[in-house]
Every structure is written in structure tokens, then in C-alpha cells.
Amino acid sequence: METLTNLLMGFNVALTPTNFFYCVVGAFLGTFIGILPGISPTTTIAILLAFTFKMPAVASLIMLAGIYYGAHHSGSTTAIMLNMPGEPTSVVICLDGHPMARKGRAGVALFFSAIGSFFAGCVGILVIATLSPPLGRVALMVSPADYASLTIMALVMASVIASKSPVVTIGMAFLGVLIGTVGSDIYTGAERFTFGISALSDNVSLVAVAAGTFAFAEVVDRLQEMVRHGGLKNRGHVNTQPIKLIPSWSDVGMAWKPILRGTILGAAFGILPGTGPTVSSFASYAMEKKLARDPSRFGEGAIEGVAGPEAANNASALTHFIPMLSLGIPAGSAMALMLGAMTIQGISPGPQVMTDHPDLFWGLVASMLIGNFMLLVLNLPLVGIWVKMLSIPYRFLAPAIILFCCIGVYSVNNAAEDVLIAAGFGALGCVFKMLDASPGPLVLGLVLGPSLEENIRRAMLLSRGSASVFLTEPISLAFLCITIALIVIFAWPRRQAPPASEHPSDIRPSRSADRVRL
């Protein structure tokens, strides 16, 4: 009953004209970004992060959240129609979605993709509303040592799980924590590691780091790709004629169980740092192929290969919000940027958000339900329009992205130095791309670094300077043991590499006539 009362309060917040408008804007932008290859929701959130500084706190979080789950909802549209996934999470949809389209069943694939996303999204939102409050109440009772160990575990877990090079990603997270220490000491106010640069005295701007490592580096990488391939190739004629969306009863019978299984799998994976929508969608595809009576149908247009992964993708995307909202610990780079948006608004992230700012928490949850309904309208009836937008040349998008980033970074502190810092991190982001190192753990470390330092120092003060407090506290010791186990399991060199076919991410659309293009 308490949850229902809080949801009603949340709808009152979300349905105010301002918040409803930003919910529509977020869902629309998310759909647009999800369809365009090469522009991720994380990059878009990084671009818009600075503009949320002048917005109301609830409206800014509603818009950024809409961009995130809207992109995951719509990325399968071009994967089905053109064999070109708008998001990495939709790569697996190409395996059976596009073969269905070539057989004249694009409408059925789009229908189950949309319905699976909608159902999984609703379940994910209910999981957020159910699990976050009790998890937040438990988190309020943990000690600073416990919270510091939990933060370390989250950083390591997000770095090593589903990573090709766990050692590199752990190093990136550690680098982010180090960058987070630049600026003024949280207790004494003394400047640290600023090298006399006044622009760094108030800490390194998260907006500048995010814009540089994600947006600037992404634009440079895409332009380099265009130069290497002599410009973007013509994608050919896109069929936007009305398509049959209504499936047969036999199609429904084949799809509802994969949707249910994918929803449960994605909801469970989304709560854990590091196991995001991409891992969930591949794991769902592998599971459906294992459970199928005739696995040979997969890759030739199996409905289960579309319905299950798409449900897992969206359930995971939404339950990713649980650790961020209830514990103040982001489960991925996009959640880290949204946590940064809360900090920009003067809201201290953590379990106290639900008690100190219930309008923000429940308004955001209610807006997700509203946005989930909007995405049905935006994706199915308007599919032809969205696919046509792929004809926008990237040479027009690139300067617009750079311009908006520079304006946004400058507007936070009205400092030109922040733009130079963003450019520097943009160059660093290009180096990361050449080294195949994701900047996500770096941003995660930058966001969690100040909180980690504060809790370590508080724990040391309470224990009169004894570091043994991290081992004598049972909860802290448990988190540290899990951290060590993760490092040993995932980062320790393996003597014998597993067969390529055993890992779901090794699945390739080999039976598809068209090549998947990212």
C-alpha cells in the first residue's frame, strides 16, 4: 500500500506540465539516438549534462533517464529493417530480426521487439519501486567502512565483468579515482595536485571529462572511420511502406515465454554493476538457443531470437537504476553521468535521496512508466519516419555535436579553461580508443572517487587511524572478499582459453546475407 501511495505521488510530480514535457523530450531524443548508429545514449547524456545545470532537478533526471531507456528501446528498429543496429545492445537482434525482415515478416519482428521492450520495461520499473526503498533503508545502517568497501567492490565489478581486458579497465577506474582527488581537500580545503592551475582548484569538471572522453573522442573516431572508408557508404533504399504488425496466434505462442524469461534474466543482470544490457541480451539469446527444440532455426528468423534478447535488454537497462538510486553507486557509465547530474543539482547521491527527495525518486519512477507508453507510440506507428532519418549525413552531425559540447562545458562555470580541459580529455579519449580501453570505468571512478575518499577518511577517524576497521567490520570484510574473488576469477590470466563458441558474445550473424554494420 505504501508503494502504491508513493507511486500516486510520483505521478502527480511527473504529470506536471514541465516534467511531462521533459519526459516527452527524453523519450523522443532517446528514440532518435537509438536509431542513429555511432551516437550512444552515454554520449548524448554527456553532451546534455551541462545544460541540466539550469534545469529543475526532477525535470533534468526525467529527461536524461528518458534518453537512456528510449535509446535501448529503439535500437532494434534499424537492426531489423536494415541489419544495422543503432546500439551495441541491438547487435544480437540482427541475427534473427533481419532474416525475418527479408522473409517479409519485419512487422512481426518489430511488434514483438516493441511489446517485449514494453513488458520488460514495466516489470523493470516495478522492480525499482519494490526493491529500491528497502535497499535504501538497509544502506542507511551501514558504516563508512562498509560503504567504502562496497564502493571498491562496485568499481571492480563494473570493470572486470564482461570486459576483454579486466586489468586495463581496473586501471582506468583507478585513474578516474585519482583524477577525482584533484582540487580542494574535502576536509581542510587545501588545494591538491592542481599544479598552480586555478581552473583545477574546484576539482576537475565532470562535464568536461564526460564531454571529452565520450563526445569529442567519438566524433574524431567516426570521422577517422569516414576517411579510411572514403566517406559513409550509401545505405540504399529504405522501404517505408506500411507493414503488417499484427502477428498470428502461433507467433504469440512462440514469443511469450522468451519475453518472460528475458525479462527475468535482464532484471537480475541489471542490478549488478558491469552486467548491463549488452551482456543480458547476448545471455538471453544463448539461453533461448539452448532451450529451443530446433536450434538450427536461430540465425534464419527465429522469433525467440528477437523477443527474448530485446526483453532482457530493456529490463536490464531499467534495473540499472536501482543501485544508483538506492545506494548512490552507478552500475555503468551512463548511470555515473546521471549521478553526476544529481551532484550538479546539489543533491548528495546515496540512500538518503529517497527520504530527503521523495519527489525526485518517485517522480522519476512514475515518469518511466509514462515514457514506456510513449515509446510504444514513437516506435511502431512511426517506424518509416525513424528509418528515413538515417539519411542524415554524419558530416552535419559532427560539428553540431562539438558545438553543443563546447557551449555546454563553458556554461557550467563560464570558464574557457573547462573547454580546454574537455579538449585535453578528448585527445586522451582518442588514445583510449586506440588502446581499446573504454572510458566508462574512468568516469565511474571519477564520480565515485570523492565518495570513496570521504568514507575511507571517516572510517579511519572513527577507528582512531586504524586501517584494520575494514577487516574487523563483517560487512566490509565480506565486500572485500568478494572483490578479491572477482579479481582472481576474471583478471587472473587463464591457462586455457575457453572455446569461442562457449561465450555468448562470440555469436556472429554468419547466416545473415547482410553484414552487421556498427
Kindly provide the b/e burial profile for residues 342-368, where b requires at least 16 CB atoms within 10 angstroms of the residue's own CB: bbbbebebbbebbeebeebbbbbbbbb
For residues 189 and 405, the model is more confident at 405
Percentage, residues of the chain above pLDDT 90:
17
Is 17 contained in some domain? Answer: yes
Mean pLDDT of 338-363: 86
Helices 106-139/57-74 angle, 10° precision = 140
Is 156 contained in some domain? Answer: yes
- Cβ within 8 Å of residue 483, ≥6 positions away: 149, 152, 153, 156, 157
pLDDT score at 449: 86
Is 518 contained in some domain? Answer: no
pLDDT score at 480: 92
- pTM (global) more than 0.85: no
Structural domains of the chain, count: 1
pLDDT interval class at 406 (50, 70, 90): confident
Is 514 contained in some domain? Answer: no
Domain of residue 147: give its range: 2-234+244-493
pLDDT score at 190: 80
Distance CA 452, CA 152 (A): 8
Instruction: Convert the pLDDT of each residue in 137-147 to its tens digit.
Output: 887 778 889 88
Is 415 contained in some domain? Answer: yes
pLDDT score at 33: 85
Q: SS3 string of 429-480?
A: HHHHHHCCCCCHHHHHHHHHHHHHHHHHHHHHHHCCCCCCHHHHCHHHHHHH
Let me know: does 52 contact 82? Beta carbons within 8 Å: no
Is 515 contained in some domain? Answer: no
Place of cell 540499472: 320
Is 64 contained in some domain? Answer: yes
Q: Which of 517, 227, 218, 238 is nearest to 397 (CA)?
A: 218
Distance CA 80, CA 221 (A): 26
pLDDT interval class at 401 (50, 70, 90): confident
Instruction: Convert the pLDDT of each residue in 298-347 to its tens digit.
Output: 888 889 999 999 999 999 989 989 888 888 888 778 888 898 888 888 88
Is 196 contained in some domain? Answer: yes
Instruction: Convert the pLDDT of each residue in 58-85 to its tens digit.
Output: 999 999 999 999 888 887 887 887 777 7
Mean pLDDT of 490-499: 53
pLDDT score at 478: 92
pLDDT score at 499: 46
Mean pLDDT of 250-262: 90
